[in-house]
């Protein structure tokens, strides 16, 4: 599923949840602030699920594709067309590799399962040959030669973004509870 389809579906889901919650709350209360608080909370829940919507479990190789199960369905990345890779660490300390092709991206947890490792190693080797700047941590993990000029980890910090979203969600819930008293 491409990023455009995934985010379009997510936007539709967020809009549906927001309108449904607003309608249900408006039908039962006269406070517009409570309605706003509940809509923000529901949108926050959907946004958090989308943030981790490309984190995959149960990876498998399907021809040239790496398929993973995610919260929003099966996702795949074309291993023959990798354009970027990143090393990520979750808040709990788990390590993830994010793989990008020209259409979408997926994340898989480390250690990579034995049945996936050979295909992923070959895909990373081919990506390096094509000039993709594979981070040093990933080349070390897969025993590949380091890429000159590649960053050490090229990681992003999804934990910070998730923390911000959870904080906003928490404030929305507290605000809604205070208004309902």
pLDDT tens digits along 59-76? 999 999 999 988 777 888
Backbone angles phi, psi at 131, to 5 degrees: 100, 10
In angstroms, rounded to a whole number, what is the distance separating the alpha carbons of residues 50 and 90?
15
Q: Residue 178: how many CB atoms within 10 A of its CB?
A: 11
How much is the pLDDT for 54?
67
Peptide bond into 111 cis (omega under 30): yes
Structural domain boundaries in the chain: 3-51+159-180, 55-157
Torsion of CA 93, 1, 114, 153, to 10 degrees: -40
In angstroms, rounded to a whole number, what is the distance separating the alpha carbons of residues 133 and 155?
13
How much is the pLDDT for 1?
45
How much is the pLDDT for 79?
95
Q: Please, which pLDDT band fits residue 9 given cuts at 50, 70 and 90?
A: low
Lowest average pLDDT, out of 44-48, 70-74, 76-80, 144-148, goes to 44-48
Lowest average pLDDT, out of 24-33, 36-45, 91-100, 153-162, goes to 153-162
Please give the model's pTM, rounded to 2 decimal places.
Answer: 0.63
Instruction: State the CATH class of domain 55-157.
Output: mainly beta
In angstroms, rounded to a whole number, what is the distance separating the alpha carbons of residues 30 and 58?
47
Residues 136, 65 contacting (CB under 8 angstroms): no
């Amino acid at each position: 599923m491409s990023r455009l389809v995934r985010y379009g579906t997510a936007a539709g889901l967020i809009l549906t949840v927001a309108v449904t919650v607003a309608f249900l709350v408006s039908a039962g209360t006269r406070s517009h602030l409570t309605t706003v608080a509940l809509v923000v909370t529901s949108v926050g829940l959907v946004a958090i699920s989308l943030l981790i919507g490309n984190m995959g479990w149960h990876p498998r190789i399907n021809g040239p594709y790496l398929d993973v199960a995610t919260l929003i369905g099966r996702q795949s990345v074309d291993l023959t067309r990798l354009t970027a890779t990143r090393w990520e660490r979750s808040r709990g300390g788990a390590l993830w590799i994010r793989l990008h092709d020209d259409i979408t991206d997926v994340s898989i947890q480390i250690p990579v399962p034995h049945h996936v490792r050979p295909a992923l190693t070959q895909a990373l080797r081919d990506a390096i040959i094509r000039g993709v700047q594979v981070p040093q941590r990933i080349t070390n993990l897969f025993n590949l030669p380091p890429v000159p000029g590649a960053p050490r980890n090229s990681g992003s910090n999804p934990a910070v973004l998730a923390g911000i979203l959870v904080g906003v969600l928490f404030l929305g819930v507290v605000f809604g509870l205070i208004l309902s008293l």
